Amino acid sequence: MNLLDANFLFASLIWGSVGAGYFIYGKRQQSWVPMVAGVVMIAVSYFVGSALVMSLLCAGMMALVYILLRQGW
């Protein structure tokens, strides 16, 4: 695992930022679904060592948040 790989660093920056945005949005809207998803996305950007796996997990998390919010959670 090369932590100084440009693809890994860029993916980590992007998904960590999106996760922080989800967390802030969930906190302001007082909705636990995007807030928890934001924390999970931030954790994924720290602990997953592959840019592809990180992107797939975070994109899946975004889809899950969309589906849960559409159902009324």
Integer Cα distance of 35 and 61 in angstroms: 12
pLDDT in tens, the chain (73 residues): 666 889 999 999 999 999 999 999 999 999 999 999 999 999 999 999 899 999 999 999 999 999 999 998 8
Structure letter (DSSP) for residue 72 = T
- pTM reported for the whole predicted model: 0.88
* Other beta carbons within 10 Å of 64: 13
Specify the pLDDT at position 1. 62
| Burial category of 5 from C-beta neighbours within 10 Å (exposed 0-12, middle 13-18, buried 19 and up) | middle
